[in-house]
Amino acid sequence: MITFDSLSLADASDQMRAGGLTPVAYLAALLDGISRQNASSVNAFISLTPQGIDRAMASAEQATQALRRGEDAGALHGIPYGLKDLIDYQGVATTGQCQFYRANVATRDAFVVRRLKTAGAVFLGKLATDELACGGRPEDSAWPVPSNPWNPAYITGGSSSGSAVAVAAGFVPFALGTDTGGSIRNPSSRCGLVGLKPTYGRVSRDGLMPLSWSQDHIGPITRTVRDNALVLQCIAGHDASDKTSSRHPVDDYAALIGHPLAGMTIGVLSEPFLQDPDADPEQVAGIMQAVEVLRHAGAKIVERRLAGIPHINAVARLLLGADGFAVHADGLRTAPDLYGKGARSRLLQGAWLSMADYVDLQRRRAGIVESIERLMAGIDVLVTASGYDRAPKVGDASAFAKSYDQQLRMPFNLSGHPAMVVPTGVSAVTGLPSSMQIVGHYFDEARMYQVAAAYESQAPWSAPGPRLNIHPGDIA
């Protein structure tokens, strides 16, 4: 017997093509686990309605029949997934978990959804998010807050919290999230997953409820590196409806997986967390042990430094606030009570910035991008931390606030470089996963996957999944 949450996307896809598993049977097993665990303990899905289940079952039946006819749309054919509730799916509300947008039913599909439909993927429902991707842990939310399936006493990280929780809990093999200040990488790292923020412009944002036009990204969250590459393969590409969408050719993202690292140079940015007395020693140890694994795999390791990280993070936050206020200004003026306290306070910070301030921030940003390009010069990828704090407990406001400073995610939203997280172990203290961050050159995601997969194959730890009393159904 095979439990559904032990299957990677690639394994499920292979079994479907071999005839040992049908999309209908796979979806039924997933729905069984969701029905018993989502509302009772996890709260990843916010809109898994009977109508939505019927739609998903119809899609799975279509995929099953198509495969029987020999019509194969690719690796995602028949594979269920969920969407962060900022991404449009026609006929389904895109609320951003904000009361102001509760009746905001999408009239068309986002670009990424159109790609996934063409690939035969099966949409299950919308997944929880911090309010408008900027509300922090939304304690005043009208929707249930997701719990970390590894240890519900600790936060999931945001803002793509539902996307990460759904994958970690085994509800879906992949989900799409968004990343404006680390919002794919943060919950992926807290939940033991592989989460990618692609190169800016690599994935169209048409159909995404924006937060910051210049820093928003859509990307995949999965349990394995190969799975992540398969999803990016589907959603990457030029889109004329998104003026920031790049025409850069789409690579075969899995092509380098399994190739040796000999001859590769990997930079390590370790100074920020090695010199921080409050850094979590288990997070630090996990990253440095991962570096040694990569060294033994044949890569040359060199040290790198990046000055002014607090300043970089501050510029990113201020620009995010200014852009976010511009997006939501009308709603905040006319119906401020329909915004949660956290989201409202963060967005209103952008109201105090003048045009001169905004221009100065963009000037500073240009200098930051240059410094990150220098950081990346002469190396194939950079390895560093995503966050280097110990995960805050639920309700610990001071630790939560501090976590915004003990992280190295936001610099790469400013610069647009691709960045991903890969789990490195499990804490003996919290029971939560630790992680490292891999940063690549623009449009060089295939190289990042090569490095991440090399580590994944040699990782000196084994963690099949979270321990939240999740007993998934069996697939016959």
- Choose, from 160, 183, 245, 386, the residue flagged as catalytic: 183
Q: Say if 472 falls within a structural domain.
A: no
The contacts of residue 429 (CB under 8 Å, 6+ apart) are: 282, 390
Cβ(185)–Cβ(407) below 8 Å: no
- Choose, from 84, 126, 188, 435, the residue flagged as catalytic: 84
The length of the chain is 476
Same structural domain, 37 and 128 = yes
Cβ(410)–Cβ(180) below 8 Å: no
Q: Say if 476 falls within a structural domain.
A: no
Number of domains in the chain: 2
Same structural domain, 265 and 343 = no
Same structural domain, 85 and 18 = yes
Same structural domain, 220 and 280 = yes
Question: In the annotation, is 197 catalytic?
Answer: no
* Domain's final residue, options 325, 340, 362: 362
426 exposed, middle or buried (CB, 10 Å; 0-12, 13-18, 19+)?
A: buried
Question: In the annotation, is 84 catalytic?
Answer: yes
Tokens 């209103």 belong to 348
Q: Which two tokens stand for residue 164?
A: 């990460």
- Choose, from 13, 141, 159, 427, the residue flagged as catalytic: 159
Q: Say if 473 falls within a structural domain.
A: no
The CATH code of the domain that includes 94 is: 3.90.1300.10
Same structural domain, 71 and 144 = yes
Which range marks the domain in which residue 337 is found? 310-362
Question: In the annotation, is 159 catalytic?
Answer: yes
Same structural domain, 220 and 317 = no
Q: Which two tokens stand for residue 299?
A: 């890569």
Q: Say if 5 falls within a structural domain.
A: no
pLDDT tens-digit profile, the chain (476 residues):
346 667 899 999 999 999 999 999 999 999 988 888 876 678 999 978 778 899 999 999 999 999 999 999 999 999 999 999 999 999 999 999 999 999 999 999 999 999 999 999 999 999 999 999 986 766 677 788 899 999 999 999 989 999 999 999 999 999 999 999 999 999 999 999 999 999 999 999 999 999 999 999 999 999 999 999 999 999 999 999 999 999 999 999 999 999 999 999 999 999 999 999 999 999 999 999 999 999 999 999 999 999 999 999 999 999 999 999 999 999 999 999 999 998 999 999 999 999 999 999 999 999 999 999 999 999 999 999 999 998 889 888 888 878 878 999 999 999 999 999 999 999 999 999 999 999 999 999 999 999 999 999 998 665 556 744 333 333 33
* Domain's final residue, options 341, 362, 383: 362
CA distances from 249 to 177, 233, 329 (A): 23, 11, 37
